[in-house]
Amino acid sequence: MNKEFYQFPNGFWWGSASSATQMEGASTLEGKGENIWDYWFQEESNRFFNGVGPGNTSNFYERYKEDISLMKELGHNSFRLSISWSRLIPTGDGAVNEKAVTFYKNVLKEMVDQNLEPFVNLYHFDMPMVMQRKGGWESREVVDAYVRYASICFELFGEMVNKWFTHNEPVVPVEQQYLYGAHYPAECDFSKAVQAGFHSILASAKAVKEFKAKGHKGEIGVILNLTPSYPRSNHPEDVKAATIADLFFNRSFLDPFVKGEFPTELVDLIKTEGFMPDIEAGDLELIANNTVDLLGINYYQPRRVKAKENMPNLNAPFLPERYFDYYEMPGRKMNPYRGWEIYEKGIYDILVNVKENYGNIPCFISENGMGVENEDRFLNDEGQIQDDYRIDFYKNHLKWMHKALEEGVDLKGYHVWTFIDNWSWLNAYKNRYGLVSLDLENGYKRTIKKSGEWYRELSVQNGFYDKDSTR
């Protein structure tokens, strides 16, 4: 059988991504302040799968040297981590924790020494609890505290960092804190959701302005989870439903971060529903003039929608789903463990959209991965997980990325989720995503999976062989 080689450009970024809360451990040790996850686990541990909280991670805090060496062994030339705001500044807006400064400097130096480029994200769902009590992203005071935190990070760590990101998936805290109840404070209040979303965008713009004004080296970007909205059919009502879903969940953040403006159709809809946020003089100009240099794209699944089947209940709390219903496409390919559709072409559609409608901004895939339950079923006699399903998942997405590159998309790299099986918010260790397995019962032993070995070859060859494919 003939095999085709999918070659990627020289200097392509191969690596993975994680976050402070999900891998550092040492939850409130070494001077770290409490964040919303630490607090929520203490208050309602029943919400967390098997009662496993954020104190029970892979403990990157103590094992970072070992883990960075493993990343190098996996062929990484880059890795995306986040800084814990509550570790660096325990109260969110007060004194800096010097032990945290030492830790992050040591981590970054180790990465640089091993020729791994650090991609540093400033906010990944982990609001300091002191800041949440002041309103979290609803609060203007918290915006100012975040900008101060970002500025401190630029000053402390800027010599070793050329890639900064203001937020990871800023739509997710808006959805899960204020619409669907999966992150603390688990409210259902669309007005708060809109205000929190606006303030997170404003906070990013202010951080970008600070970064540029102080002349820091490198680039500053944002990481967005872009979930393409596909209509059930070409019927105008289905198309309209998909357009509105796209406005709420993609363009609400993509447009202001990249273009510096909010979609007129979305503003009109929010005005009509009576949910406009509080906006101060100069805010919109600041957002317009401080867009990002680099776009990280997280992609896991498509969103399929259709026109409403029934009249919405106008007395219920407002949710975006008042304008559309979700649609389960017959014959769709599924990851049954996560309940997500696998649709590889979605990654291509996102990239083409970015090229055609967002100035072909330099971008990279900053998360893409497959979570599977009970992976111990796939252990071989040597104790290695044979996760061919994950290799196939990567390959089939990379083929579509390769096609986008051939068509001129300014795509710089591919980071998978994730390096090592990590603690995952409410799901804890239910689904495993890592290139490296984590043995919770045996001293948190690390073992490279088959996919990790494949990923090393991918990076070494700067591409991969696969059977002839029409994609």
Element (H, E) at 79: strand 78-82
pLDDT given at position 190: 98
Q: Considering the chain, what is the average pLDDT of its residues?
A: 96
Catalytic residue among 34, 117, 344, 367: 367
pLDDT in tens, 8-27: 999 999 999 999 999 998 65
Active-site annotation holds for 453: no
Q: Is the pLDDT of residue 470 over 70?
A: no
pLDDT in tens, 424-435: 999 999 999 999
pLDDT given at position 395: 98
Question: Which ranges in 140-189 belong to alpha helices (H)?
Answer: 140-157, 171-178
pLDDT in tens, 328-345: 999 999 999 989 999 999
DSSP E strands, 66-162: 78-82, 117-121
CB 302 within 8 A of CB 248: no
Q: Is 59 left (phi over 0), alpha (psi -120 to 50) or beta?
A: left
pLDDT in tens, 169-197: 999 999 999 999 999 999 999 999 999 99
**SS3 call for 409:** coil
Q: Is the pLDDT of residue 471 over 60?
A: no
pLDDT in tens, 247-282: 999 999 999 999 999 999 999 999 999 999 999 999
In one letter, which amino acid is 118?
P
Active-site annotation holds for 367: yes
Residue 462: exposure state from Cβ atoms within 10 A (0-12, 13-18, ≥19):
middle
Place of tokens 């991504």: 17
> For the domain that residue 160 is a member of, what is the CATH number?
3.20.20.80
pLDDT given at position 467: 78
- pLDDT grade, residue 469 (50/70/90)? low
**Residues present in the chain in total:** 471
Share of residues in the chain with pLDDT > 70 (%): 98
pLDDT in tens, 218-250: 999 999 999 999 999 999 999 999 999 999 999
Q: Which domain holds residue 289?
A: 3-467
Number of separate domains in the chain = 1
Catalytic residue among 24, 169, 175, 375: 169
Q: Is 454 left (phi over 0), alpha (psi -120 to 50) or beta?
A: alpha
Q: Which of 79, 68, 64, 71 is nearest to 414 (CA)?
A: 79
Place of tokens 């051939």: 406
- Beta strand 445-448 with 219-225 is unpaired
pLDDT given at position 25: 84
Q: What is the DSSP letter of 30?
A: T
